[in-house]
Amino acid sequence: MPASTTKRTTRRPDDSPFDFNLDAVEPDEELKPFVVRFGGRRWTFQHMQDLDCWNLLDAASNGEVSAMLGAFRNALGDQYEPFREVGLPQYKLRPLFQAWLKHCGLNEDGTPIGEPASTDT
């Protein structure tokens, strides 16, 4: 039987230096919430860059519609169900999402405004 070529990774002790300090990473600018008036009341969406990526990735694994629903659900938090109860005509969905993206400094493909659009195929 041939010897295994799998390389084992040894774990460093917790007090050893690290390669990257993710705890030190801060946003480039203040992540202000996006406030919308709809149905006679105010709704506060968290900034997109402040949303938990794991929840968004889970939602996105089920397609584009699930990704958008996941973003709204996470951004609105406890306001999500009351927001849905108001009802949202389709013609308002795209303008809402585009305004939220713009507020967050993002193009529709998620790239920062001013950067070239993604060419992923």
Encode the chain (121 residues) as per-residue pLDDT tens digits: 556 666 777 776 776 788 899 999 999 999 999 999 999 999 999 999 999 999 999 999 999 889 989 999 999 999 999 999 999 999 999 999 999 999 999 998 888 888 766 665 5
Question: Which pLDDT score, from 0 to 100, does residue 21 have?
Answer: 92
pLDDT number for residue 117: 62
Q: In angstroms, rounded to a whole number, what is the distance separating the alpha carbons of residues 99 and 111?
A: 15
Closest CA to 76 of 46, 102, 32, 109: 46
At residue 48, the pLDDT reads: 95
- pLDDT computed for residue 17 by the predictor: 83
pTM over 0.85: no
Q: In whole angstroms, what is the distance from residue 75 CA to residue 69 CA?
A: 10
Tokens matching residue 12: 């460093």
Q: What pLDDT was estimated at residue 8?
A: 72
